[in-house]
Structure 1
Amino acid sequence: MELFLIGTGTCSPVKDRTPACYFLRAGTSRIIIDPGPGAVHRIAQRGLDAMDVDAIFLSHHHLDHSADVAPWLFSYKYCLGPDSAQSAQPRRDPLIVAPEGFGKVYEGLVDTYGKMLLSDDYKVRIEEVNRTEWQWPGGLSFRSIPMLHFIPSVGYLFKKHDGPALAYSGDTGFCEELVELASMADALLVECSLPDERRMEGHMTPSDIARVGIESGVKKLILTHFYPMMNPQAAVETIRAAGYPGEIIAGEDGMMAQI
């Protein structure tokens, strides 16, 4: 299972971090997670095919995690290959998995952009999830659990059959549901928004992350979603000093982590 960190930043513009986006490759499965602004082209810059995926998973619909849903649908309909001819391959029905309420967001996108996002050749499928388990073709399963944020938000567990499991926090404050999710995983991709002294409701700090790591027993922490005032290496040091014994990775745009 390979996790590509396409974007490890937030809505705050900085030169070396872009908003959230992750690309998961597990066996024959390809999944985009939280396509924030510019995600479609940043995936391509990483050498990955943003159009050849099984699904898009959204933790929540804040724009820094979902703004490229409409551009992705537009590209899926109109993109041309290297030979300037659209692919002759039959188009799969795009699948977007998201928390409850995203269906209305999608309807708003369609009301705004209309036929630019729709096609007679396929149907966009929206699956709203809360606390859900789902078996996936190709030996992958997923589970969603509600998190603690300002709007409906879920964390996900992606598990390869007889193989490793990755948990993703999305945006959340500390909650027992995140500990539950992480306890089922080999690695936790977790937001590390702010230092402890700048704590904000609905987001994680290094001390929160250490607590989740220790209580869940997860073996690896992959830190992401850094606001500009959050020093990633300082976060690693704080988590280590709090007693977390596992591996800690401070995520960077373009990084690939083996799960």
Structure 2
Amino acid sequence: MEITFLGTGVAIPQKGRVQSGVLVSLEEKPLLIDCGSGVLSRFPDAGVSHTNVDTVLLSHLHLDHVADLIPLLKANWLRGKTDMRVYGPDGTEDWFSRVLGAYEYILDGVDVDVIELSPGKEFTPEGFDCEITCAATDHSVPTLAYRVTAEDGEFVYSGDTAPCRDIMDLAVEADLLIHECSFPAGTKVTNHTTPSTLAEMLEDYNNEIGSICLTHFYPEMRGHEKEAIHRLKDYVEGEIILAEDLMRLEL
């Protein structure tokens, strides 16, 4: 299993970081998790054709996680790829139909199946040999974390969230937890994570999580990366990794 970070940033522009998107290669078949602005343009740099993507998981519907979904659908359509499955939390179907409905010239030419998910749901996406489990997060809108379990590894993607037990429980014995870390320690923030608030949650888990990869960095995190590693390194068996755009991890 190969994980490529297409975007590790947020809604505020930053040099070298576009908005959220993670591409997972499962036996060479790509699964895209989130599709924020700039993610589509990362495909050539990642050496992956966008037309290979026919399955997308959305953690939630904030723009920095969905803004390039319709552009991806259009890019595929322009190359003759018209089918797609989109999984997401409650409200995804209504949001998708409203946005796509503004583009009638695409609407009749594509075949998109939207599947809404709820916390606790377990499913296998069509065409994949893996199991995905959903959990609720602590964010300002309905948001899902995902655990992807395949023959060669298991990882959890937190989506946007304050640290919460549902995600930590989902990540127990996983090889990797991809967790947002929006702001540096000491920042007063709700709905998001700092190294300190994540460490406080991890104290109860006795190194039950393999490695942690931090992502979803606001500009305020620049210069505080080493502090984050130092704050968290005693709470996991493996590494603390700082995600960068186009970084690849192998499980």
The two structures have a TM-score, normalised by structure 2, of 0.91
Where in structure 2 are the equivalents of 1:90-101 lying within 5 Å? Answer: 91=81, 93-101=83-91
* 2:102 alignment partner, one of 85, 94, 112: 112
Q: Which residue is equivalent to 1:127?
A: 115
SS of the residue aligned with 2:52? coil
- Pairwise CA RMSD: 1.7
Q: Deviations over 1:56-77 (max 9, x none)?
A: 1100010001101110111111
Q: Which residue is equivalent to 2:70?
A: 70
1:165 and 1:47 map into 2 onto residues whose CA distance is 24
Q: Deviations over 1:115-141 (max 9, x none)?
A: 32441xx52000100121012444211
2:99 and 2:117 map into 1 onto residues whose CA distance is 20
CA apart distance, 1:36: 0.4
> Which residue identity is paired with 2:87?
V
* 1:233 alignment partner, one of 219, 226, 231: 226
> Which residue identity is paired with 2:172?
S
CA apart distance, 1:197: 1.3
8 Å contact from structure 2 (residues 213, 243) kept in 1? yes
> Which residue identity is paired with 2:94?
K
> Which residue identity is paired with 2:240?
I
8 Å contact from structure 1 (residues 226, 232) kept in 2? no
Where in structure 2 are the equivalents of 1:76-225 lying within 5 Å? Answer: 76-79=76-79, 86=80, 91=81, 93-119=83-109, 122-131=110-119, 132-136=121-125, 137-161=127-151, 163-216=152-205, 217-225=208-216
Q: Deviations over 1:84-115 (max 9, x none)?
A: xx5xxxx5630000001011111111221123
Q: Deviations over 1:203-256 (max 9, x none)?
A: 01112333444544111101100111112222112212x544431111111100
CA apart distance, 1:199: 3.0
Q: Name stretches of at least 5 consecutive residues in structure 1 with no aligned partner.
A: 80-85
Structure 1 ranges of 4+ moved more than 6 A: none
SS of the residue aligned with 1:181? helix
> Which residue identity is paired with 1:15?
K
Q: Deviations over 1:36-67 (max 9, x none)?
A: 00211212221112221241110001000110
* 1:252 alignment partner, one of 241, 244, 248: 244
SS of the residue aligned with 2:213? strand
1:26 and 1:232 map into 2 onto residues whose CA distance is 30
**Greater shift after overlay, 231-240 or 151-160?**
231-240
Percent identical = 30
Judging changes above 3 Å, is the alpha-carbon distance between structure 1 residues 51 and 201 closer, same or farther for their aligned structure 2 residues?
Answer: same
Q: Which residue is equivalent to 1:82?
A: none
1:215 and 1:139 map into 2 onto residues whose CA distance is 32
> Which residue identity is paired with 2:248?
M
SS of the residue aligned with 1:196? coil
The two structures have a TM-score, normalised by structure 1, of 0.89
Aligned residues between the structures: 245
1:51 and 1:220 map into 2 onto residues whose CA distance is 31
1:215 and 1:166 map into 2 onto residues whose CA distance is 20
Judging changes above 3 Å, is the alpha-carbon distance between structure 1 residues 220 and 212 closer, same or farther for their aligned structure 2 residues?
Answer: farther
1:135 and 1:233 map into 2 onto residues whose CA distance is 37
Q: Which residue is equivalent to 2:26?
A: 26
SS of the residue aligned with 1:94? strand
